[in-house]
Structure formats: C-alpha cells, structure tokens
Amino acid sequence: MAPFDIASSLGPVAYALVFVAIGFGFGAVLEMGGFGDTRKLAGQFYFQDMTVLRVMFTAIAVAAVLIALATSFGLLDMARVFVNPTYLWPGIVGGLIMGVGFVIGGFCPGTSLVAAATLKVDGIIFLLGALLGVGLFGETVGSFQGFWLSSYMGRFTLPDLLGLPVGATVLLVVAMALLLFWAGGIAQQYLGEKKPWAEVRREPTPGGIILAGALIGASLFLVVRGQPDPEARFARMGPDVRKSVEERAIFVDPAEVVALRKDIAVQVAILDLRDERDFNLFHVGGSRRATLPDLESPERLKTLLDQPPTTVTFLVGNGEAAAITAWRRLIAQGVPNLYVIDGGVNRWLERYPVDACVAERAGRVDGRDDPAWRFLYATGSTQPAAWPELSSSRSFRSPCAEPAVSHGDTHQARSWPVHAYTKRVKLKSKAAVKGGCG
C-alpha cells in the first residue's frame, strides 16, 4: 500500500528521479498558472488578481479530496504520510514575517524558483535574498531556540481539533474554498484596480461548475463512506506485517524485555492492558495500566506517535489475545517500535516466579487471557519478580520468611536464572520523506 518505501526499494538514481519528476510537475504547473509573474502574486494583496487564492485553494481542496478518497479505499496508509507537525506560535510568527516579505519581495520561495527559471531578474534576485534569509535564520535561531521549539502539538489535524470525521472536515475545506473564490471574485471586481495582465472576473464557466460539483460530490461521498477503522486498515497493510504476527516476530521474550530495561540506550515503556484488579495483584515494574480506547484517544495516540526512536513500547495482558488486538490496531495507526510481551504476564510469572505464599498456580500458560496465578493479596510491583533486572533484591522483604527474631538481615538475595531468547526488537526511526520542509 502507498506511500511506497522508495528509499529502500529504488536505487539512488531512480530515487532522485522520482523527486525530480515530482518537482518538474510542481514547477511546470506553477509556471503555467502564472506564478512566475510577480505582479500576479503581489496583485493578490491589492485585489488586482485572484490567481494565488484560486490556484492555492483549488489545489488544497483537490489534494485533500484525493488523499481522503485514497485512504477511504485503503489505497493510501495515512499513518505513513507526513503531516506537518504543529508548532503553533513559531508557525504564526513565521507566517506574519513571510506575509511582509511577500508584499515587499513579490514572491514566495517556490514561485521565485520558477521566476528565476524563466529568467525573471527580480525572481533571481529574490532567490538570492531567500538564500541569505535562510542562512541568517540558521545563524540566529540559536538565540531563540526556546521559542522556536515552543507550542509543539505534534501531528495535530483539523479533524482532531474540530472533533469531526475526515470526510466532514474535507467537505468544510471544499465549502470554504468555494466561498473564498466567490468572495475573492467580488473583491476583485469592486476593490481592485483593473490590470491588463490580470484575469477579469467572469461568470462561472461550465468547467468551473463541474469542478465545484465534483469536489462537493466527492466530499459528500466521503462523509457517507467514512474512513476505515484500524482493523480494516491493518488488513490492508502489507503481507510482511501480517507475517510478523504469524511468525511471532512481534512477541518479545520477557528475558529480552529485562535485558532492554538494563540497556541505557533504550527507553522501555510497558502498557498493561489488564483490568485494575489484575494490575493491582501483580504487574511488571514500571508498567502502566492502559485500555485500548484510552490508547486510541487522539491525545494518547499523539504521544505514542511522537515517542523518540529509542523508545520501545510493549503491550502486555495476562495472555496474548488482548495484546495482539491492541497491537494490530495501534500498528495500523502508525505507532512505531511496538511489541507484545511473549505469553503476557502469565509467561512472565513462569519465568520469574513469586513465592508460594504470595500466589499459587491456578491455570495454564497458553496465551489465553485468564490469569494463570491466583494471588493471595495485591502485590503491585513490590515482588522481586516485577523487577528481575535488579540483581540484588535488597529492597524486597520476603513475605514468606519467619518473623525475624534475629536482628540480622532478613532480606533475600535472589538471582534469576539466565534465559536464552531470540532477539526480536529492532528499533526503527520514522519516515524519511517529510515533504519540502524537512
């Protein structure tokens, strides 16, 4: 499923050519639309010419509709599409600065490229200025790094903000674009000076009506059809993802989890999917209780998506069934470096048993989600088994020991047997292609 991993599937030359081809289309369309002419660009802000508004918002509406259609039909995996992360205030301040630059210089960076390519001297000079400007930013950003990194909201989209489905949001975008075209035409007619090079407002052409109708029709269709749920998205993912479940590549031995917890280069997060009762009876040290709906809420999902590439997240249940379901849904939503603890808490307790006076065996360890141990009281993470990586268990008081008569040390030193395991965790960094802003 798209997008394609062209960095690894194509050779370096073909990889470069893909981007040259996309850039070629970009440059050619900008030029054909008149974006190489600074008067048409600056004319936007004097109501002389509405080309900027019309081209930009038509492009946004068309692309938004096409993207939503592709994801709706499972042709495009939105989780692997780059969405510009929101840094609210640096973005707004940058936009305010650029607005002034636009009116003074008469171009934006992309359009100055095509102006320069068609030998417009002002475009070439603007381009040189822009190169100076980006250099100046690099020199000075160190002094306001705090602001530049502030108000970070991650992958934050309009559907998240409005609490609307994607289809309804796309419909709003299309409606807003059409409204702007209408208002822009009126503004041009009554406010702007007529220019020979500017297009005069005409009545809507048959083509324009067809385009508007197609955009509205497609977004209404999107509203009705909706977007696939995570299970459906998972089913659409490549065969290698499904194979990784069948071949148990996502199941990590408790011993490997313990080894990773000792690894200073890796952050381990364990999400315990069991209910509160089971969690209180025993849980792996440092794990946090989480429910699937909770993890799929926009807020939580965003933090999961935003984790640094050195973080490994493990899902754990009593057995495996609940963890696998959660894994499938979260993987389909793009959560990176996500694994399931092999056999769940039941296997963990088999590997790292607790004393007989704390819990007794009550069932089999077979991957099912029933607890295999019956705890006599809630131990939380106070048992040595919750922290097998601590070689000395000095801080754990054994409940099975006789009440101390002596004043000696009643703490038990325990060392766990070393288990052999197959390494499963492979840390992956995020998508490489970030569009033009990378």
Q: Residue 202 class from Cβ within 10 Å (0-12 exposed, 13-18 middle, 19+ buried)?
A: exposed
- DSSP per position, 235-294: HHS-HHHHHHHHTTTTEE-HHHHHHHHH-TT-EEEEEE-S-HHHHHH---TT-EE--HHH
Using CB under 8 A as the binding rule, whether residue 232 contacts another protein is answered as no
Closest CA to 114 of 44, 34, 48, 18: 34
Using CB under 8 A as the binding rule, whether residue 206 contacts another protein is answered as no
Q: Which residues in the 76-95 window bind another protein by CB under 8 A?
A: 76, 80-88, 90-95
Q: Which is nearer to another protein, 84 or 410 (CB)?
A: 84
Q: Which is nearer to another protein, 99 or 308 (CB)?
A: 99
Q: Which is nearer to another protein, 56 or 220 (CB)?
A: 56
Q: For residues 163 and 297, is the Cβ–Cβ distance under 8 A?
A: no
Question: What is the three-class DSSP state of 302?
Answer: helix
Q: Which is nearer to another protein, 208 or 363 (CB)?
A: 208
Using CB under 8 A as the binding rule, whether residue 50 contacts another protein is answered as yes
Considering the complex, what minimum distance in angstroms separates the CB of residue 209 from another protein? 10
Using CB under 8 A as the binding rule, whether residue 167 contacts another protein is answered as no
Q: Which residues in the 15-44 window bind another protein by CB under 8 A?
A: 15-34, 36-40, 42-44
Q: What pairing do the DSSP bridges indicate for beta strands 311-316 and 338-341? A: parallel
Using CB under 8 A as the binding rule, whether residue 122 contacts another protein is answered as yes
**Main-chain dihedrals φ then ψ at residue 421, nearest 5 degrees:** -155, 160
Binding mask 127-166 for another protein (x = CB under 8 A): xxxxxxxxxxxxx-xx-----x----x-xxxxxxx----x
Q: Which is nearer to another protein, 110 or 399 (CB)?
A: 110
Considering the complex, what minimum distance in angstroms separates the CB of residue 109 from another protein? 4
Using CB under 8 A as the binding rule, whether residue 221 contacts another protein is answered as no
Q: Which is nearer to another protein, 97 or 362 (CB)?
A: 97
Using CB under 8 A as the binding rule, whether residue 56 contacts another protein is answered as yes
Tell me the C-alpha distance between 234 and 241, whole Å: 9
CA dihedral 201, 205, 211, 216 (to 10 degrees): 80
Using CB under 8 A as the binding rule, whether residue 438 contacts another protein is answered as yes
Considering the complex, what minimum distance in angstroms separates the CB of residue 145 from another protein? 9
Considering the complex, what minimum distance in angstroms separates the CB of residue 243 from another protein? 22
Considering only residues 108, 175, 266, 292, which one is a binding residue for another protein as defined by CB under 8 A? 108
Sign of CA dihedral 40, 41, 43, 49: positive
Tell me the C-alpha distance between 122 and 126, whole Å: 6
Closest CA to 70 of 170, 161, 164, 213: 170
